Amino acid sequence: MAIRRPPILIVVFLVILTAGVRIATADEPVPAPWPHQFHALMFMNYSGDLSMIDLWYDWTNGRNFNIIQEQLGGITYDLEWNNGTSFIYSLDESKSCRSAQLEVGILRPNWLDGAKYLGQRHVNGFHCNVWEKVDFIWYYEDVETKRPVQWIFYTGREAHVMTFEVGAVLEDEKWQAPVYCFNKEKKKKKGLSLEGGLREFKGYKEKAVL
């Protein structure tokens, strides 16, 4: 008997401990998963280089589109498919396009799972919950509406969410990459900017898949 009792006590103690831990973490808010389809307009600032991103997230159809307008500059189309293929192109006379093949597809709706809660902060007049994920992104979500307000990448690039339309879907024909993306002869990527895009997300996805 005397030999058996200590293990039982330890088990009881562990059960109490894990229950305690579960209660403690249950109190912390978690980021709302991304809606399966939404449209957002974002104001981007990368050390003073400004751009607007028209973001069409479409998990349902396995595709994601960033249409990047540089301030008083060109427009870059960054179209990603869930099979890992991306097309980055312009629709101007330069007819530039390049494609990339990643190991992983578009961001999953729950890509923020496991983010570390940092508490609440007031930003741009919004009362936000803040999380940090793998030293990669700081994510701010409105406490009441659960809408994203902004996120900041480790590079310092800031995305400020200006509109967030849940359920909005871009028409199918707009997702067609131009024919010159499929030419065997690769065009030079002259004039194509990746700086304004969500390039960090590509690095993140490669990291997260490991």
Ligand X SMILES: *[C@@H]1O[C@H](CO)[C@@H](O)[C@H](O)[C@H]1NC(C)=O
Least Å distance, CB 190 to ligand X, is: 23
In the complex, the smallest distance separating the C-beta of residue 46 from ligand X, rounded to whole angstroms, is 8
Q: How many residues of this chain bind ligand X (CB under 6 A)?
A: 7
Smallest Cα–Cα separation from 87: which of 21, 176, 14?
176
Distance CA(67)–CA(90), nearest Å, equals 10
136 Rama class: left (phi>0) / alpha (psi -120 to 50) / beta: alpha
180 binds ligand X (CB under 6 A): no
Kindly tell me which of 45 and 69 has the beta carbon lying closer to ligand X: 45
115: closest CA among 131, 130, 91, 103? 131
Subset of residues 53 to 92 that bind ligand X, contact rule: CB under 6 A: 81, 83, 85
**Residues near 4 by Cβ (< 8 Å), separated by ≥ 6?**
none
**Residues 120, 127 contacting (CB under 8 angstroms):** yes
Q: Does 48 bind ligand X (CB under 6 A)?
A: yes
Residue 203, both tokens: 């690095």
- Residue among 7 and 47 whose Cβ is closer to ligand X: 47
Closest approach of ligand X to the CB of residue 20, in Å: 42
Question: Which C-beta is closer to ligand X: that of 47 or that of 210?
Answer: 47
Q: Does 45 bind ligand X (CB under 6 A)?
A: yes
CA distance 195 to 110: 26
Alpha carbons 119 and 136: distance in angstroms, whole number: 17
Stretch that binds ligand X, among 45-53, 67-75, 111-119, 123-131 (CB under 6 A): 45-53
List binders of ligand X among 109-128 (CB under 6 A): none
HSE-up of residue 6 (Cα within 13 Å, Cβ side): 2
183 binds ligand X (CB under 6 A): no
Query: 1, 27, 47, 122: which one contacts ligand X (CB under 6 A)?
Result: 47
Tell which positions 15-34 bind ligand X, by CB under 6 A.
none
Of the pair 29, 178, the CB lying nearest ligand X is at: 178
Cα 28 from Cα 24, distance rounded (Å)? 7
Judged by the rule CB under 6 A, the positions of this chain that interact with ligand X are: 45, 47-48, 50, 81, 83, 85
